[in-house]
Amino acid sequence: MAQADDMHTASGRFGLVAMLLAPIILVNSFVFLLPILNLFRISFNEALPGGGIGPGGTLENWYKLAEDSYYLEIMLRSVGMSLLVTLLALLCSYPIALYVHRAKGAWRTFLFVLVVSPLLTSAVVRTYGWIAMLADQGLINNALGLLGFSPLRLLYNQTGIVIGLTEILMPYMILALLAGFGRLDPRCEEAALTLGATPVQTFWRIIVPLTAPGIALGCLLCFVLCVSSFITPRILGGGRVFLLATEIYDQAIVTLNWPGAATLSILVLVIFGAALVVYTRAVNRLN
Amino acid sequence: MTFTRRILLAAAAAVTLAAAPAKAQTNLTFAGYSGLYQDLYMKAVIEPFMKANPDIKVTYYAPGNSAAILGALRAQKAAPQIDVAMMDISIAKAGSDEGLFDPIDEKVTPHVKDLYPQALMPGANLAGMTFDSLVLVYDKTLFKEPPKSWRALWAPEMDRKVALTGVPDILGIALTVMLEKMAGGTDWNHNLDKGIKEMETLAPRVLTWDPKPDLWNMIMAKQAGISVGYNARSQVFSEQPGSVLAATIPQEGTLFQINAVTLVKGAPQAAAARKLVDYMLSPEAQKTFSELMFYGPTNKKVQLAPAVVSRISPSDMSKVVDVDWLELAKIREKVTQDWRRRVIPLSK
């Protein structure tokens, strides 16, 4: 009898779960899965000069991707730059996140709002703000000039993109780090210090390992956002820095080569998949 | 009769009354460029058309540039929602080849026979509606007199003040064609090698190859000093109060940019769509829009005021370099590759 009851509740729970998940599964299959499959299909269409889409069933787009070293180059550049931005965002965000985590009461709330507030402004507006800072006659170069240094080329190149993206992705990194700081118990730090560890040892052997899940999550989030970010590289790159996202835009919108753009989009998805695998392995090892 | 029933009957009557005029009204969708173009085209052409045809209501749908409009049409191929669409003529040709459009001939509008030959493309279902051309756009406070040559891009005081739109954008290819011709090239529809070499010498002086938000705003904000753009927009921006922007056609000549109108195949309002296309190509609509936004009319019968003619380029047709964009499309990929491997690396 008790067994039957158990079975009854189990199937009831399953029904409930299915019911709760159904809307999101339905929405995702129509607005995410279906378009992705369509993209996959278009990547096998022939690209005609002048922007036409030819018949399907050709592997030409994929051959081109594999043969032309240019695509390997932009892929490596995209991944390399995203890793650099992720690292910089982590280095800049970690102390802030740790400080916010340790703050108390209203002060903590205030700091938290401060961290989130950049997200209330669109990335486009913040990117234009960086133009004013980084331009040849911008804030930074004028300050350098006053100090007697020669101006630096900070805008319309890769340096500009890295600076802009790092700042724009920092709120996400801080939020992810804060979410992962739950396991950080101040008593562990106190214990380490009373047992004679130096602050540096405490940081590397207690704080960093305990906050590692947050670091992993933040890095995954930043990396994925960075590879797919388009507006900031477009505005700060000055047409000099070719990345996967800008290349997809050029092919889809400028040269109207939809099959080529679709092929590159699938490649980006594969990179995301690889990032997820790395993340999952890292988290499993941490646990 | 209960109270509820009375209300229901009254509501039904109200709906019938409201529906009666709506039934007679046709809802037409026109897809065109966004921003400044949309504002002025609504004012000059769409609104007068609706006034003349009170039974037709036109909705201006602006998904973005030509490519975005073609994208919307492709996506709706099975069940079109757009009746009339405009886009760059080379992109309209691609759409026509894919079978997205119905022909625009004398059965649609008698104005077709009055169009300049450049406005029509044999075998393609489209009709040119505006002419525009390539101009040097510059900050007039930085030049004592208007620049006379495309070589002004190389002026020493313009170092790191040049904002160009790079290849594969049409503007980038158009400038490369112009430079090819200036360097002595003769077969610019098939080979742009000399133009690319010229670009290589210009590359170190360029501030950006991707002006944002656009080249006109960069010059008006004094972030750049000189650029290459389209005449019509340049004329409108030069008129704004306090604007430092000016535009000129250099002596070496210019290139055409043509916008074309298309009739969408299987459009829900085919009859009204033909009416709109007829009006768009009429001397009346062409004249009003030319006077407002300085696009050249494609209808030969348009008579413009001299003050407008001088600002619509090119007043001298012999200055126009004859370019076959369809032939150029075939080498676009090679040009893009050369551009990335030879020009951009020199522009640090």
Instruction: Determine whether the interchain pair A136/B160 forms a contact, defined as Cβ–Cβ distance below 8 Å.
Output: yes
Instruction: Determine whether the interchain pair B97/A238 forms a contact, defined as Cβ–Cβ distance below 8 Å.
Output: no
Give the nearest partner residue to A239 out of B97, B209, B329, using CB atoms: B209
Give the tokens for residue B48: 């007068």
pLDDT 10s per residue in chain A (287 long)?
445 555 556 667 788 898 999 999 999 999 999 999 999 999 999 888 777 788 888 898 999 889 988 899 999 999 999 999 999 999 999 999 999 999 999 999 999 999 999 999 998 999 999 999 999 889 999 999 999 998 899 999 999 999 999 999 999 999 999 998 888 888 888 899 899 999 999 999 999 999 999 999 999 999 999 999 999 999 999 999 999 999 999 888 888 889 999 999 999 999 999 999 999 999 898 87
| pLDDT confidence of residue B65 | 86
Residue closest to A219 by CA, chosen among A170, A286, A265, A184: A170
Search chain B and give the residue with CA nearest A255: B168
Beta-carbon contacts of residue A166 (< 8 Å; ≥ 6 apart)? A85, A88, A89, A92
Residue closest to B243 by CA, chosen among B222, B266, B215, B220: B220
Instruction: Give burial (CB, 10 Å; 0-12/13-18/19+) of A108.
Output: middle
If you write DSSP's letter for every residue of B115-150 in order, what string do you get? B-GGG--TTSS-EEEEEEEEEEEEEGGG-SS---SG
Instruction: Determine whether the interchain pair B332/A252 forms a contact, defined as Cβ–Cβ distance below 8 Å.
Output: no
| pLDDT confidence of residue B9 | 53
Which residues from chain A sit within 8 angstroms of residue B346, using beta carbons? none
Instruction: Determine whether the interchain pair A156/B166 forms a contact, defined as Cβ–Cβ distance below 8 Å.
Output: no
| pLDDT confidence of residue B1 | 43
What number of C-beta contacts closer than 8 Å exist between A and B? Answer: 72
Dist. CA A169–CA A164, nearest whole Å: 9
Instruction: Determine whether the interchain pair A253/B65 forms a contact, defined as Cβ–Cβ distance below 8 Å.
Output: yes
Which residues from chain B sit within 8 angstroms of residue A239, using beta carbons? 165-166, 208-210, 344
Give the nearest partner residue to A255 out of B168, B207, B212, using CB atoms: B168
Search chain B and give the residue with CA nearest A152: B348
Search chain A and give the residue with CA nearest B347: A240
Instruction: Determine whether the interchain pair A136/B340 forms a contact, defined as Cβ–Cβ distance below 8 Å.
Output: no
Q: Which contiguous run of DSSP H or E holds residue A66?
A: helix A60-67
Instruction: Determine whether the interchain pair A239/B65 forms a contact, defined as Cβ–Cβ distance below 8 Å.
Output: no
Q: In whole angstroms, how far apart are CA B103 and each of A154, A250, B93? A: 51, 30, 12
Q: Which residues are registered as beta bridge partners of B57?
A: B27
**Sign of torsion over alpha carbons B10, B15, B16, B21:** positive
Kindly list the structural domains of chain B, giving each domain's residue range(s) and its CATH number in brackets, ordered by start.
3-131+257-317 (3.40.190.10), 132-256+321-346 (3.40.190.10)
To the nearest whole angstrom, how far is the Cα of A71 from the nearest Cα of chain B?
Answer: 11
| pLDDT confidence of residue B163 | 96
Which residue of B97, B212, B228 to mutate against A (max A Cβ within 10 Å)? B212
Query: Quick one: DSSP state of residue B102?
Result: E
Give the nearest partner residue to A242 out of B91, B223, B340, using CB atoms: B340
To the nearest whole angstrom, how far is the Cα of A143 from the nearest Cα of chain B?
Answer: 18
Scored b (16 or more CB within 10 A) or e, B90-129 reads: bbbbbbbbbebbbbbeeebbebbebbeebbbbeebbbbbb
Which residues from chain A sit within 8 angstroms of residue B209, using beta carbons? 238-240
Which residues from chain A sit within 8 angstroms of residue B223, using beta carbons? 131, 135
Which residue of B210, B223, B326 to mutate against A (max A Cβ within 10 Å)? B210
Give the nearest partner residue to B94 out of A50, A131, A239, using CB atoms: A50
| pLDDT confidence of residue A6 | 56
To the nearest whole angstrom, how far is the Cα of A76 from the nearest Cα of chain B?
Answer: 16
Query: Which stretches of chain B drop beneath a pLDDT of 50?
Result: 1, 15-17, 19-22
Kindly list the structural domains of chain A, giving each domain's residue range(s) and its CATH number in brackets, ordered by start.
68-286 (1.10.3720.10)
CA A23 to chain CA centroid, Å, is 26
Instruction: Determine whether the interchain pair B208/A242 forms a contact, defined as Cβ–Cβ distance below 8 Å.
Output: no
Search chain A and give the residue with CA nearest B162: A238
Give the nearest partner residue to A256 out of B70, B210, B347, using CB atoms: B70
Which residues from chain B sit within 8 angstroms of residue A131, using beta carbons? 223
Dist. CA B134–CA B146, nearest whole Å: 16
Instruction: Determine whether the interchain pair B94/A51 forms a contact, defined as Cβ–Cβ distance below 8 Å.
Output: yes
Which residues from chain A sit within 8 angstroms of residue B71, using beta carbons? 252
Search chain B and give the residue with CA nearest A154: B348
Give the tokens for residue A95: 């102390």
